[in-house]
Amino acid sequence: MSLYRDTAVVLRVQKLGEADRIITLLTRRYGKVRAVAKGVRRTTSRFGARVEPFCHVDVQLYTGRTLDVITQVQTLDAFGLHIVDDYQRYTAACAVLETVDRLAAEEGEPVLRLYLLAIGALRALSGRERDSSQVLDAFLLRAMSFAGWAPALSECARCGESGPHAAFNVQAGGAVCVRCRPAGSVRPSAHTLPLMEALLHGDWAEAERAAPPVRREASGLIAAHLQWHMERQLRSLPLVERTVPELIRERAAEAALVGTAEDGR
């Protein structure tokens, strides 16, 4: 019996038998690990709540024949407490975990950078200090950079000519110059590619100044670029509510005004 211990983020869970679950973890040192948590579906389980998606844990396992077995779990960060009660943040966090699960395809292969990116994104979503759509977009851009799929933003994806360039083509790899522009390229707003570059490099002061239409356009290009390279659609991404906080506050204010007016009749 070989025991080992590591920190990990819980990516997903699956039922196994009557009381067990298979837990998919992204660990710091060992990459993606699938392990059995025995008895966690019973009400008497000692650590059932600690192996739910979005949890950041210190976990001890022993090596089994087909699946490893979880023996101890200690919570480091319960990110889910501040995520699951907000639909916008919950769907963004689900998209983060699904992306991580897809990119860490090989079990047992260390992916430290992806692990750190996942923890950073969940911590930002849990902290509620930034727009969840922008947190997700920044994560997706950095995750694509990790995978070698980062879109060209400041130079032509084909010839390398320095930009800015007016066209963007997913199949070509990002921004394209006038000479290299393939048919079917889109012409985003002049502010969209600079916003994507700000999100990629963590320039939040610049990113948060972007107007709502520019944010939505950037989100669309990022999602299209990711799914082109993955060759499949993320199930959680269409569910993400792409609404910026300013619009939410405006609608709430308008609703309050309407309610006040009705009460005064």
- Whether 19 shows a pLDDT value over 70: the answer reads yes
> Kindly report the CA angle at 108 between 107 and 109, in degrees rounded to 5?
95
Question: What is the distance between the alpha carbons of residues 41 and 17, in angstroms, rounded to a whole number?
Answer: 10
Domain with CATH 2.40.50.140 in the chain: 1-119
What class, spelled out in words, does domain 1-119 have in CATH?
mainly beta
- Whether 22 shows a pLDDT value over 50: the answer reads yes
* Most confident range, picked from 81-90, 135-144, 242-251: 135-144
Q: For residue 108, what pLDDT is reported?
A: 84
Tell me: the pLDDT tens digits for 171-224?
999 999 989 998 888 999 999 999 999 999 999 999 999 999 999 999 999 999
Q: What is the DSSP string of 156-212?
A: -TTT--BS--SEEETTTTEEE-TTTPPTT-B---TTHHHHHHHHHHT-HHHHTTS-H
The CA-atom distances, in angstroms, between 223 and each of 2, 136, 175, 253 are: 41, 10, 15, 31
pLDDT above 90 coverage of the chain, percent: 57
Question: What is the distance between the alpha carbons of residues 9 and 7, in angstroms, rounded to a whole number?
Answer: 7
- Whether 257 shows a pLDDT value over 90: the answer reads no
Q: For residue 251, what pLDDT is reported?
A: 44
Q: State whether CATH 1.20.1440 applies to domain 130-259.
A: yes
Domain with CATH 1.20.1440 in the chain: 130-259
Tell me: the pLDDT tens digits for 160-174?
888 789 899 999 999
Question: What is the distance between the alpha carbons of residues 2 and 17, in angstroms, rounded to a whole number?
Answer: 24
DSSP 48: G
Q: Regarding predicted confidence, which is higher, 162 or 241?
A: 162
pTM of structure: 0.85
